[in-house]
Amino acid sequence: MLETFKILLPASVLIVAALICFLGGTTKISKQVWGPFSLLSLALASVLLIAMPQILSGSTPLPGDSTAVIFDPLARISEFLALMVGVLFAGMAFRQEADDESAPEFYGLLLTLLSGLMVVSVANDLILLFLGLELISIPTYILIYLGKRDTRCQEAAAKYFLLSVLSAAVLLYGLSFLYGMTGSTNLTTIRGVLQQTYGVTNGTVQAASVSKLGIVALVLIFAGLGFKLAAVPFHFYAPDVYQGTNAWNAGLLSVVPKAAGLIALIRIVSHTMVGYEGFGQTVALILALVTMTAGNVLALLQTNVRRMLAYSGVAHAGYMLVGIAVGFWDSWNPTFRLDPIYGLPVGIQASLFYLITYSLVSVGFFAVLVFLARPGKEIEHIEDLTGLWKSQPWLAIAAAIFLFSMAGIPPLPGFWGKLALFGGALSVRGDLSGAIPYPNPSFVALAIVGMLNAAIGGVYYLRIIALMFLHDPLSTPQPRGGRPAMAAVTLCAIVTIVFGLQSRPVLTLLRDIDQPTAIQVATTPKSLPMTAAK
Amino acid sequence: MTSEPFILQAMVILPLLGAVGVVAASQMGVGLKFIRQLVLMNVLITFVLSLGLVTGYDPTKVNSSGQFELYQFKSEIMWLGSPSNDVDPSAPKIVGPDIRISLGVDGISLWLIALTALLMIPAVLVSWEAIQERAAIYYALMLVLESGMIGVFASLDIILFYIFFEFTLIPLFFMIGLWGGYDRRWAARKFFIFTLAGSLLTFLGLIFIVLSHSWMLEAMTGRSAPLVFSIPHLIEHFPRLLAEPQNAAYWANVSPWIFAALFAGFAIKVPLFPFHTWLPLAHVEAPTAGSVLLAGVLLKIGSYGFLRFALSMVPGACWWALDFVAILCVIGIIYGALLALAQDDIKKLVAYSSVSHMGFCMLGLFAFNNIGITGGMLTMINHGLSTGALFALVGMLYERYHTREIDAFGGLATRFPMFAFCFIVVSFSSIGLPGLNGFTGEVTALLGMFKTRPVYGILSLSGIIFGAWYMLQLVRNTMYGRVKEPLTEGHGHPATAAHAATHTAPDASHGHAAHSDGHGSDGHGHGHAAPVFATHHTDLNFRELAALAPLLVLIVWIGVAPQYFISKMEPSIAQVVKGLEAARPANK
């Protein structure tokens, strides 16, 4: 039991800090302290996370079957992501919320939400995982409402609340099927049971045909998590909510739920549902195709900058699903493990890699919007950015770096992400019987559609860049974001460039992700066949 | 005759450093004069380095195993990653991007790199007076572009090639969009998006070449094979792999798809008909230096891509696509020439003539024999020289009169004898007058095509006739006849007066309107030009002559004695032809 608490330590720090925020908000303590306080708690959580291997080293690992949490490479990198994103967003809010009445609540909610993402990262149990997802959703409802209090915002909050609750119900329903099939909520146990029943022995030979219940479960889980990812057709809330709320909230929405959705998807489906790879691959493939195409095409038509970014976020979710689909194929055919492309990962790792690159530039670009916003006057129309280069040269350059990265222009991180995703899709083999495997037509189609989509994406990203650089300003912006937002922009821009030139540290973290951890392998021989194939 | 790899590395890095230096200098408040000199110095040093490359490249160099060492000045640096062993499949795969900064030149890229370094000189010199606003950033972008262009040709690694390939778009996008003509914003976006859309598909094709290589190697050796991105390695090893019948069957099935993917990007870049619509817009709207580099170098990236990847790596599919591409070339040659004939703007005329000339170049490459590809290569260089020079000349004319309308000019030969001389020589080069470079290139390209498919050769001959027609018409109308000059006063060009003032006397205030009095009404401004017109309506000055002189020298040199150029590219072309001959289907 002790391990569980140890692993949950960083998340617990944030929860405790959030509670202090909520309680302290009722006292007469200055509203100014909560920003630094939350940054401090994030720093403490980061220290604990970095020291986690040392913290865990003394204790004897429990059998994977009975642990509700797990600290594997996936958990580690996701928690790091959560903390980094948290630091950036907490910093960005400094100026905005410093003199606001609701500052303590605001920071408390942010910390709660981040702890939710951290719980999702480490959860090895369906119930805990669901709890983590809800810990993200519930503060978000309030944050959207706190952001700005007009009818648009109320509509956005209500819309997000209703759809989110619906998706949670769908997800829970799916999870209940999974429980019904296997009799456990523990992911390791579920995986073990499924492995014994439907385990792939070699190639595509399956021990038994899969149960229909699992298919229902898989579809419902995809639907429930598709909402978090903003995958088509579960994306309808995104544009309205992004537009209705402020830039800070929209930025948070564009990163945290997506990350949670992707991590949960990898945990529940990719890593657990043995035997359903073939079906999952088809679902992910279709979702990816539809999501990226619809997202990009709809983004083309937008004139509101947050609405456009919402659709662009939909499109990026589509790219991430490409990696999920490839990952299914990869674990379906362990004998034909895909090679890393130039050291870049393929499959699930590529998805996570893309998630990190996307989060980085998305946070960066929203930080630009936060910096430019004034109280009650957000950057609404993309033409509000016109001529930014003349008034704020560095900001415009940073924004261009983020947008070029989203468009996938080398050597920025977005390019490496796309190389990993679509290179992986191309490496998927079709006909396995012949001496030389032909490429898999559906994945080749996916790669081609993906590349055409990247070109469509280029059109609307370039439109913003053209407005910023090639036109004269319509009015002089009076940015109110202040130094913290500027610092966030600068930090993201520098990291984007460095990451583009050298992504090695991230790749080292990603390396072991789709292999079950040492703790599990040592204690649960059931999961061995998958690892033995490596 | 040394083959120091640092020359090539320096050529890529130096312009980048220059760009950083220029921006830093301008931030420190250094004046434009110094910045321009700094840029010129940088460009000249790069050019001198390229001379070292040209003289140092030894086409007859033989390696230890008795084969031609085609790639010289080679260097390979891991991109801050650790090496994973490509060639030895048993070596462990190392996680981390080991993208190689792998540079080198062969007889093909050698000349394109030299052309890039050369054309940068006129590009800087024609911008000298024309660019006053935010000049430091302009020059920085230009230097970044130079680095990108040299990098494209010097890359021996597929990913590195692609990085440079796409990266060239960014500086050019801003150059066109910020310093271009009236419709610059749309031109910049159209250029960017057309190129991006095509190149993304090309990228899939390139990745697929790498994957297929690995799969075929795996099938042959029975062991898991790594992914190899080295261009020379792939070119060298494909024939060996294809000796295996099952590999050959596989390759025959997939290579047309790869060709199609490569075609998507490179055909837009060249551009082949009907993908050329971005070109006239971008060329016309770009600032003069942008047009010079766009026409002179960036179009060559497309034809270079065909030569380096399509012809060298998927030769079988090239045979399959021969007729398709050749027909597009012929249409492009004739259609481009006809469109050029119909233009009333000199710059547009030159832009459309590029479509026509690049058709010849591609026709030469797709002749698939030594003489044709040599012709195609020469045409690439020639087109870079003559079209670059033409764009520079048009820019000079525009600087003087702020119009490019053909009808506005006449009898310039008597007004500007030096200008007219240069213009006529370059026009003749573009037409293909024997003794000048255009002739050698296009005739060898066509000779090659006559060997492979006479019908396309015959059809495209009409393009030469049309070419002579529109160029001679242009020369006759603008250079000869009654002297005719555009009016510079009250001409609906509100910007003209202010611009002219800045050109003639950079220190003068913008409200300088005195210069337009009584000028141009009779078309004879010669005698009574006030001192302020000194550079405005006079013949080419020393700077402009210096910009054109190297191009003119080469135009004559390649026209009279192309052998020096051909000898260096011969072995590299022979290697491509060898691959093409081996892949030649029985019925073609």
Q: Dihedral through CA A503, CA A504, CA A506, CA A508, nearest 10? A: 160
Is A435 within 8 Å of B81 when comparing Cβ atoms?
Answer: no
Helix (H) or strand (E) holding A202: strand A200-202
- For residues A506 and A59, the model is more confident at A506
- A531 pLDDT more than 90: no
- A358 pLDDT more than 50: yes
Is B94 within 8 Å of A343 when comparing Cβ atoms?
Answer: yes
pLDDT at A156: 86
Q: What DSSP character marks residue A377?
A: B
Contacts of B60 (CB under 8 A, 6+ apart): B68, B571
Q: Distance (Å, rounded) from C-alpha A391 to C-alpha A475? A: 9
Residue B346 maps to a domain? yes
Counting residues of chain B whose pLDDT is more than 90, the rounded percentage is 33
Instruction: From residue B506, give the alpha-carbon distance in Å to each of A11, B215, B517.
Output: 64, 63, 20
pLDDT at A439: 85
Residue B71 maps to a domain? yes
Q: Distance (Å, rounded) from C-alpha B366 to C-alpha B323? A: 9
From chain A, the residues in CB contact with B211 under 8 A are: 426-427, 439
Residue of B nearest to A464 (CA): B189
Residue of A nearest to B134 (CA): A390
- B28 pLDDT more than 90: no
From chain B, the residues in CB contact with A436 under 8 A are: 215-216, 218-219, 246-247, 250
- A206 pLDDT more than 70: no
How confident is the model over A346-362, as a mean pLDDT? 92
Q: Distance (Å, rounded) from C-alpha B470 to C-alpha B150? A: 33
From chain B, the residues in CB contact with A511 under 8 A are: 95
- For residues A294 and A69, the model is more confident at A294
Q: Distance (Å, rounded) from C-alpha A289 to C-alpha A325? A: 11
pLDDT at A523: 32
How confident is the model over B543-557, as a mean pLDDT? 90
Contact B64, B12 (CB under 8 A): no
- For residues B94 and A28, the model is more confident at A28
User: A302-313: string of b/e by CB count within 10 Å (b at 16+)?
Assistant: bebbbbbbbbbb
How confident is the model over B128-149, as a mean pLDDT? 89
How confident is the model over A89-105, as a mean pLDDT? 76
B31 interfacial to chain A (CB closer than 8 Å): no
The residue of A292, A436, A513, A515 whose CB has the most chain B CBs within 10 angstroms, and thus the best one to mutate to test that interface, is A436
B184 interfacial to chain A (CB closer than 8 Å): yes
Is B196 within 8 Å of A455 when comparing Cβ atoms?
Answer: yes
Let me know the angle formed at the C-alpha of A58 by A54 and A60, rounded to the nearest 5 degrees: 125
- B382 pLDDT more than 50: yes
Distance from CA of A441 to the nearest CA of B (A): 12
Instruction: From residue A322, give the alpha-carbon distance in Å to each of A262, A325, A329.
Output: 12, 5, 11
**SS3 of residue A200 by DSSP:** strand
Contacts of B298 (CB under 8 A, 6+ apart): B149, B168, B172, B269
How confident is the model over B574-583, as a mean pLDDT? 87
**Looking up tokens 């050029």, which residue turns up?**
B340
- B380 pLDDT band, cuts 50/70/90, is very high
Contact A415, A500 (CB under 8 A): yes
B166 interfacial to chain A (CB closer than 8 Å): yes
- A96 pLDDT band, cuts 50/70/90, is low
- B508 pLDDT more than 70: no
Is A339 within 8 Å of B97 when comparing Cβ atoms?
Answer: no
From chain A, the residues in CB contact with B201 under 8 A are: 448, 451-452
pLDDT at B498: 40
Q: For the packed helices B158-167 and A413-427, what is the interaxial angle rounded to 10 degrees?
A: 130
Is B211 within 8 Å of A471 when comparing Cβ atoms?
Answer: no
pLDDT at B226: 76
- B434 pLDDT more than 90: no
Number of structural domains found in chain B? 1
Nearest to A426 among B177, B207, B218 (CB): B207
Distance from CA of A451 to the nearest CA of B (A): 6
pLDDT at A292: 93
- For residues B32 and A258, the model is more confident at A258
Residue B502 maps to a domain? no
Counting residues of chain A whose pLDDT is more than 70, the rounded percentage is 89
Least Cα distance to B321 among B330, B311, B308, B313 occurs for: B311
Q: What was the ipTM of the complex prediction?
A: 0.87
Nearest to B204 among A344, A410, A448 (CB): A448
**Looking up tokens 């009095």, which residue turns up?**
B517
**SS3 of residue B579 by DSSP:** helix
Tokens standing for residue A179: 């429980």
Query: What residue numbers bound the domain in which A510 lies?
Result: 2-532
Distance from CA of B229 to the nearest CA of A (A): 8
Q: For the segment B266-284, what is each residue's pLDDT rounded down to a tens digit?
A: 999 988 988 988 998 998 8
Contact A246, A161 (CB under 8 A): no
Across A81-85, A510-514, B311-315, B492-496, least confident range: B492-496
Which residues between 246 and 275 in chain B have a beta carbon less than 8 angstroms from any beta carbon of chain A? 246-247, 250, 253-254
Residue B391 maps to a domain? yes
Is A419 within 8 Å of B193 when comparing Cβ atoms?
Answer: no
pLDDT at B523: 40
- B8 pLDDT band, cuts 50/70/90, is confident
B79 interfacial to chain A (CB closer than 8 Å): yes
The average confidence (pLDDT) of chain A is: 84
Distance from CA of B539 to the nearest CA of A (A): 34
- A315 pLDDT more than 60: yes
pLDDT at B488: 60
B134 interfacial to chain A (CB closer than 8 Å): no
Contacts of B67 (CB under 8 A, 6+ apart): none
**SS3 of residue B97 by DSSP:** coil
Let me know the angle formed at the C-alpha of A120 by A116 and A125, rounded to the nearest 5 degrees: 125
- A169 pLDDT band, cuts 50/70/90, is very high
From chain A, the residues in CB contact with B203 under 8 A are: 451
Across A319-323, B202-206, B516-520, least confident range: B516-520
Q: For the segment A469-490, what is each residue's pLDDT rounded down to a tens digit?
A: 888 887 776 777 678 889 999 9
From chain A, the residues in CB contact with B96 under 8 A are: 343, 504, 507-508
Is A458 within 8 Å of B192 when comparing Cβ atoms?
Answer: yes
Query: What residue numbers bound the domain in which B351 lies?
Result: 5-82+96-483+542-582
CA B572 to chain centre: 20
Using H for helix, E for strand and C for coil, what is the string for A107-145?
HHHHHHHHHHHHHHHHECEHHHHHHHHHHHHHHHHHHHH
Number of structural domains found in chain A? 1
- B229 pLDDT band, cuts 50/70/90, is confident
The residue of A338, A470, A508 whose CB has the most chain B CBs within 10 angstroms, and thus the best one to mutate to test that interface, is A470
Nearest to A437 among B162, B193, B215 (CB): B215
Strand partners, A206: A200
- A312 pLDDT band, cuts 50/70/90, is very high
Among the ranges A422-431, B136-145, B493-502, B510-519, which has the highest mean pLDDT value?
Answer: B136-145
From chain A, the residues in CB contact with B247 under 8 A are: 436
Q: Distance (Å, rounded) from C-alpha A306 to C-alpha A347? A: 30
Tell me how many helices (H) and strands (E) chain A has.
22, 2
Q: Distance (Å, rounded) from C-alpha A317 to C-alpha A234? A: 11
Is B167 within 8 Å of A411 when comparing Cβ atoms?
Answer: yes
CB atoms within 10 A of CB B3: 18
Q: For the segment B162-187, what is each residue's pLDDT rounded down to a tens digit?
A: 999 988 999 999 999 888 888 888 89
Contact B152, B161 (CB under 8 A): yes
- B116 pLDDT more than 80: yes
Is B95 within 8 Å of A459 when comparing Cβ atoms?
Answer: no
- Which runs of E-coded beta strand occur in B53-158? 72-78, 100-105
Q: What DSSP character marks residue B92?
A: P
pLDDT at B482: 82
Tell me how many helices (H) and strands (E) chain B has.
23, 2
- B572 pLDDT more than 80: yes
pLDDT at A146: 78
From chain B, the residues in CB contact with A342 under 8 A are: 97-99, 159, 227, 229
Q: Distance (Å, rounded) from C-alpha B474 to C-alpha B477? A: 5
Distance from CA of B204 to the nearest CA of A (A): 8
From chain A, the residues in CB contact with B208 under 8 A are: 426, 439
The residue of B82, B161, B173, B211 whose CB has the most chain A CBs within 10 angstroms, and thus the best one to mutate to test that interface, is B211
Q: What DSSP character marks residue B537?
A: T
Counting residues of chain A whose pLDDT is more than 90, the rounded percentage is 44
- A528 pLDDT more than 60: no
- B427 pLDDT band, cuts 50/70/90, is very high
Q: Please state the φ and ψ torsions of residue A318, each to the nearest 5 degrees.
A: -60, -45
Is B159 within 8 Å of A342 when comparing Cβ atoms?
Answer: yes
- A309 pLDDT more than 90: yes
Q: For the segment A386-438, what is each residue's pLDDT rounded down to a tens digit?
A: 888 888 889 999 999 999 999 988 889 999 899 989 988 988 887 777 777 78
Counting residues of chain B whose pLDDT is more than 70, the rounded percentage is 87
Residue B90 maps to a domain? no
- B515 pLDDT more than 60: no
Is B96 within 8 Å of A507 when comparing Cβ atoms?
Answer: yes
Nearest to A511 among B95, B185, B247 (CB): B95
How confident is the model over A458-471, as a mean pLDDT? 89
B520 torsion bin: left (phi>0), alpha (psi -120 to 50), beta (else): left
Across A283-287, A493-497, B540-544, least confident range: B540-544
The average confidence (pLDDT) of chain B is: 83
Residue B515 maps to a domain? no
From chain A, the residues in CB contact with B226 under 8 A are: 339
Is A466 within 8 Å of B185 when comparing Cβ atoms?
Answer: yes
- B154 pLDDT band, cuts 50/70/90, is very high
Residue B234 maps to a domain? yes
Contacts of B182 (CB under 8 A, 6+ apart): B285
Contacts of A374 (CB under 8 A, 6+ apart): A478, A479, A480
How confident is the model over A5-10, as a mean pLDDT? 88
Q: Distance (Å, rounded) from C-alpha A372 to C-alpha A485? A: 9
Q: For the segment A124-153, what is each residue's pLDDT rounded down to a tens digit?
A: 899 999 999 999 999 999 888 876 667 888
